């Protein structure tokens, strides 16, 4: 047994690790071979128990020497692996440069951030909510009649029904939100005027996908509620936004329109930034481009949200981010926003 132990000592002292294969794995294999629970040294200690009494002292000393030599060798190997690992990660000036392409912001994110920044400069803060909403916040609180087309399955992705005592039937639909106006309702329900917020987010409508329409798109809506808010405040806010977004030479006009949640309501047009208002195929020869809808918040909406319409008034506006990006970057197909085509996205590498 003495000769066997001494041979193991010599074997350990002569052992090296391969520089080609996984060195850490080699060290672990060596450790398990000699120092593991079922390793060579553990087996030798079991044999030591049966050795003659007069040999145990000498054998015990040699066994302890073997164990110490094995432990020292493991530590030596570990230090060697760490040193080589540090050397491997150090800068190698002879290596070729990595020309991996860096990502860029999506054009919709760029435009949404720009809209948020413009309104932020005049005191509007960002408000957000979930993308799954109930009928009350999507339609009823916003003065939508029960037979309004927006409630039809052709326009809305309905999910399920749930009970709600606020509705005449005692139940209401749960749906993917069709506009971010639901965020305005939630803010008015839980905040006291003055309220000045914008609500950016993703919305869903059950529409056929084409170059000019998609079932998923993005909106930014704005709401301002306070005492003595007038249509003049709305007009000046819109003019400021148009000039900041599309340039100081931009002109605007408002056309009468209808929305259930605003009265009076209007559509906002800006002078075509492609042809300078002279007329082109983008503006269909009119010199004007429609960009958003707006109006004074209907008193019924204020009352539904617990705000006294005799004391407070407000305005609201909403715009499609895809539409803004189309005008700003002259993009002609909405589907490009969602296809993740690098040939399209790489055009916006230099936009922050």
Q: Tell which residue, 164, 349, 174, 137, has the closest CA to residue 261.
A: 137
Enclosing H/E stretch for 70: helix 53-89
Q: How far is CA 210 from CA 155, 157, 220, 284, in A?
A: 15, 18, 22, 19
State which fold the 107-348 domain adopts: BirA Bifunctional Protein; domain 2 (3.30.930)
pLDDT confidence of residue 82? 77
Q: Residue 196 in contact with residue 125, Cβ under 8 Å? A: yes
Q: Residue 224 in contact with residue 315, Cβ under 8 Å? A: yes
Say how far residue 38 (Cα) sits from the centre of its chain. Answer: 52
CA distance 231 to 293: 13
- Predicted TM-score (pTM) of the model is 0.66
pLDDT tens digits in sequence order for the chain, 352 residues long: 777 777 778 788 877 776 656 777 877 887 888 787 778 877 877 777 777 777 777 877 877 887 888 888 888 888 877 776 655 555 667 777 776 767 778 889 989 999 999 999 999 999 998 889 888 888 889 988 877 777 665 578 888 776 666 655 566 788 899 899 999 999 999 989 999 999 999 999 888 888 777 888 899 999 999 999 999 999 999 999 999 998 888 899 999 999 999 999 999 999 887 777 777 777 778 888 889 999 999 999 999 999 999 999 999 999 999 988 888 888 888 888 888 888 888 887 766 5
Examine residue 252 and say whether the peptide bond preceding it is cis (omega within 30 degrees of 0): no
φ, ψ dihedrals at 213, nearest 5°: -150, 150
pLDDT confidence of residue 112? 93
pLDDT confidence of residue 92? 65
CA distance 119 to 141: 25
Q: β-pairing, 262-271 with 288-297?
A: antiparallel
CA distance 274 to 62: 92
pLDDT confidence of residue 90? 56
Q: How far is CA 333 from CA 126, 209, 231, 327, in A?
A: 29, 11, 34, 11
- CB neighbourhood size of 89 (10 A): 7
Provide the angle, in degrees to the nearest 10, between the axes of the packed helices 321-329 and 231-246: 40
Domain ranges of the chain: 2-84, 107-348
Q: Buried b vs exposed e over 270-294: b needs ≥16 C-beta within 10 Å?
A: bbbbbeebeeeebbeeebbbbbbbb
- DSSP β-bridge partners for residue 103: none
In the numeric block, which tokens belong to residue 217? 């798109």
Q: Residue 308 in contact with residue 98, Cβ under 8 Å? A: no
pLDDT confidence of residue 224? 97
N- to C-terminal Cα separation, the chain: 75
Sign of the CA dihedral 298, 302, 305, 306? negative
């Amino acid at each position: 047994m003495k000769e066997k132990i001494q041979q193991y000592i010599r074997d350990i002292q002569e052992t090296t690790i391969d520089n080609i294969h996984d060195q850490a794995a080699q060290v672990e294999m060596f450790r398990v071979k000699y120092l593991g629970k079922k390793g060579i040294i553990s087996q030798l200690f079991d044999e030591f128990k049966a050795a003659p009494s007069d040999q145990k002292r000498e054998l015990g000393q040699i066994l302890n020497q073997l164990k110490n030599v094995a432990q020292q060798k493991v530590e030596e190997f570990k230090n060697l692996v760490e040193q080589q690992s540090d050397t491997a990660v150090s800068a190698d000036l002879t290596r070729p440069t990595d020309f991996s392409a860096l990502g860029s912001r999506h054009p919709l994110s760029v435009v949404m951030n720009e809209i948020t920044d413009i309104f932020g400069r005049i005191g509007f803060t960002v408000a957000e909510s979930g993308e799954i909403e109930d009928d009350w916040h999507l339609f009823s609180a916003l003065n939508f009649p029960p037979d309004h087309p927006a409630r039809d399955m052709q326009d809305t992705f309905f999910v399920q029904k749930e009970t709600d005592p606020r509705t005449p039937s005692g139940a209401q639909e749960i749906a993917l939100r069709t506009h971010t106006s639901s965020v305005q309702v939630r803010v008015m329900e839980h905040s006291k005027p003055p309220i000045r917020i914008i609500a950016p987010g993703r919305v869903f409508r059950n529409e056929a996908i084409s170059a000019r329409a998609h079932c998923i798109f993005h909106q930014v809506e704005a709401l301002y509620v306070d005492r003595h808010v007038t249509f003049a405040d709305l007009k000046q806010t819109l003019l400021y936004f148009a000039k900041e977004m599309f340039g100081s030479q931009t002109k605007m006009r408002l056309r009468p329109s209808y929305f259930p949640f605003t009265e009076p309501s209007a559509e906002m047009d800006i002078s075509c930034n492609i042809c300078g208002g002279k007329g082109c195929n983008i503006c269909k020869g009119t010199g004007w481009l429609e960009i958003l809808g707006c109006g004074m918040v209907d008193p019924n909406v204020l009352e539904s949200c617990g705000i006294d319409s005799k004391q407070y008034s407000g305005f609201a506006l909403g715009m499609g981010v895809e539409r803004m990006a189309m005008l700003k970057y002259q993009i002609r197909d909405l589907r490009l926003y969602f296809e993740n085509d690098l040939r399209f996205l790489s055009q916006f590498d230099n936009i922050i």
